[in-house]
């Protein structure tokens, strides 16, 4: 996709030019940005679509190669549109229309299932299945969706094996059929007793998207009037249906992400991230003017409604993040639910937190662990020709109360990331993609 320079007209162009010139002589902040509403308006005008006709799937502030931009994706009239808008100038960095074109060249929606210059969605499925060593009869497909990634069309193919509830994700080049990346995730969840039909959302045994929103808002202590929803989408994750609910507080742009079980309404995981803050004017030297690690633990425990006697701490570490000192506090309770907190070391305020109820079985008493060398060999067995010298970033970690080994193999132009269960040696996660892509 090529750069275009369309904006909101002569008045908008003059305003943006003034903003750009002002930015040249001083340090910019988010107060200088055009704002999400303006970015959406620029994208809509370029596409020739009205606000009422558009259904937005993704909107938000992001960063790439040192440039902040607004990602604006929407559908209208059976077409999909993806824009990246420079947050400071309002320039369209990427978009479906080429400069000077009379109308935007919109990408076909995934439901059409084919790319005229490449492979079909069915062929993408076949390629993924062949690589996984499975047949269509052995799996349940979640999606085979045509998307645009880094300027090229790809198929996002996702399916799971009902016999083990192992999940597979593939990214396949829509022109050549090459596998760009793949991921295998053996979470071993137990499926619901009576799962609702895929995509129903209103059938018996499945809560609605509106109910999922209510559950998330109640937990966050907010009302619908206080937030802007990004999505409330029914998906299948590790063999069960879940709602992915995401919204942000329009007052302070704090982001919230929830994963909610579509059958029971239980909150499986949630995340709150205060990304849009202003760093302190003068960060204090390490250890000066900061709360203690013990105080950071107390703050996290009080928020979680737990006591020190009920949890096992993994860490309470003083770190730097975006120019200020923070405590990264992590612990898990007797049910092996994991909690992660990021706490401002100066004020003690909670910047972000994450609660993850993966529901793994607790290791039986006396269960032994495999050695690091054993874990490495298990991973190497998946990459013929690779040796111990090709393994990097290898470490023993704890996730939801379980020990696991994580590492990366670089071999023959490929990067393999793996997670291996520290008790059984089972490969829990496996992801591969061309190195440096």
The pLDDT averaged over each successive group of 10 residues in the chain (437 residues) is: 37 38 43 81 88 76 72 80 84 62 35 56 92 89 79 84 79 88 61 42 70 92 88 76 85 81 87 55 51 93 90 82 79 79 89 66 70 93 92 81 86 88 85 70
CA distance linking residue 316 with residue 251, whole number of Å: 30
CA distance linking residue 259 with residue 166, whole number of Å: 19
- For the whole model, what pTM was predicted? 0.36
DSSP-derived letter for residue 264 is: T
CA distance linking residue 407 with residue 376, whole number of Å: 8
Return the domain boundaries, the chain: 10-107, 111-185, 277-358, 372-434
Same topology between domain 111-185 and domain 372-434: yes
10-107: CATH architecture: Roll (3.10)
CA-CA-CA-CA dihedral for 428, 433, 435, 437, to nearest 10: -140
The whole-number pLDDT of residue 88 equals: 82
Which helix (H) or strand (E) element contains residue 271? strand 267-273
Q: Would you list the DSSP string of 339-370?
A: EEEEEETTT--EEEEEEE---PPPPPTT----
The whole-number pLDDT of residue 254 equals: 78
CATH of domain 277-358: 3.10.450.40
The whole-number pLDDT of residue 312 equals: 85
Tokens encoding 240 = 């069960």
Cβ partners under 8 Å of residue 198, min gap 6: 142, 236, 241
> Which of 256, 253, 272 is closest to 37 using CA atoms?
253
C-alpha distances in Å from residue 166, one per residue of 26, 132, 401: 52, 11, 21
3-class DSSP state of 188: coil
Strand partners, 271: 257, 354
The whole-number pLDDT of residue 373 equals: 93
111-185: CATH architecture: Roll (3.10)
Q: Which CATH class is domain 372-434?
A: alpha beta
The whole-number pLDDT of residue 12 equals: 41
The whole-number pLDDT of residue 217 equals: 93
Task: Report the helix count and the strand count for the chain, using DSSP H and E.
Answer: 6, 21
The whole-number pLDDT of residue 380 equals: 94
Given a contact cutoff of 8 angstroms between Cβ atoms, the answer to whether 169 and 187 are in contact is no
The whole-number pLDDT of residue 113 equals: 39
C-alpha distances in Å from residue 369, one per residue of 146, 315, 332, 358, 419: 42, 21, 19, 20, 14
> Which of 20, 29, 23 is closest to 90 using CA atoms?
20
Q: Would you list the DSSP string of 15-53?
A: HHHHHHHHHHTS---GGGS--HHHHHHHHHHHHT--GGG
């Amino acid at each position: 996709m090529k750069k275009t320079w369309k904006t909101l007209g002569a008045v908008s162009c003059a305003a943006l030019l003034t903003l750009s010139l002002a930015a040249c002589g001083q340090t910019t902040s988010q107060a200088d940005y055009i704002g999400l509403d303006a970015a959406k308006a620029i994208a809509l005008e370029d596409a020739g679509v009205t606000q009422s006709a558009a259904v937005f799937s993704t909107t938000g502030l992001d960063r790439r190669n040192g440039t902040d931009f607004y990602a604006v994706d929407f559908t209208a009239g059976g077409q999909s549109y993806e824009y990246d808008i420079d947050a400071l100038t309002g320039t369209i960095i990427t978009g479906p229309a080429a400069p000077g074109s009379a109308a935007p060249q919109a990408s076909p929606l995934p439901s059409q299932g084919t790319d005229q210059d490449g492979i079909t969605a069915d062929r993408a499925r076949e390629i993924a299945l062949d690589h996984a060593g499975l047949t269509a009869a052995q799996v349940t497909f979640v999606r085979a969706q045509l998307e645009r990634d880094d300027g090229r069309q790809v198929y996002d193919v996702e399916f799971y094996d009902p016999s083990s509830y192992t999940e597979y994700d593939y990214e396949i080049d829509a022109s050549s059929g090459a596998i760009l990346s793949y991921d295998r995730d053996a979470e071993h969840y137990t499926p619901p007793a009576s799962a609702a039909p895929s995509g129903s959302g209103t059938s018996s045994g499945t809560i609605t998207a509106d109910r999922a929103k209510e559950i998330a808002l109640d937990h966050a202590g907010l009302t619908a009037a206080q937030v802007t929803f990004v999505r409330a989408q029914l998906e299948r994750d590790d063999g069960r249906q879940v709602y992915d609910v995401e919204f942000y507080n329009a007052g302070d742009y704090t982001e919230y992400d929830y994963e909610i079980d579509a059958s029971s309404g239980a909150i499986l995981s949630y995340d709150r991230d205060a990304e849009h803050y202003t760093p302190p004017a003068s960060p204090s030297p390490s250890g000066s003017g900061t709360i203690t690690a013990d105080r950071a633990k107390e703050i996290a425990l009080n928020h979680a409604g737990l006591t020190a006697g009920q949890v096992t701490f993994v860490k309470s570490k003083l770190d730097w993040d975006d120019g200020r000192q923070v405590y990264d506090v992590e612990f898990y309770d007797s049910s092996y639910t994991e909690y992660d907190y990021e706490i401002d070391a100066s004020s003690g305020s909670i910047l972000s937190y994450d609660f993850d109820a993966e529901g793994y079985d607790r290791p039986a008493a006396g269960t032994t662990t495999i050695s690091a060398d054993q874990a490495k060999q298990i991973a190497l067995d998946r990459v013929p020709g690779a040796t111990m010298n090709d393994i990097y970033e290898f470490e023993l970690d704890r996730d939801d109360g379980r020990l696991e080994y994580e590492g990366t193999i670089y071999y023959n132009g490929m990067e393999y990331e793996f997670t291996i269960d520290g008790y059984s040696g089972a490969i829990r996660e496996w992801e591969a993609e061309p190195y440096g892509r």
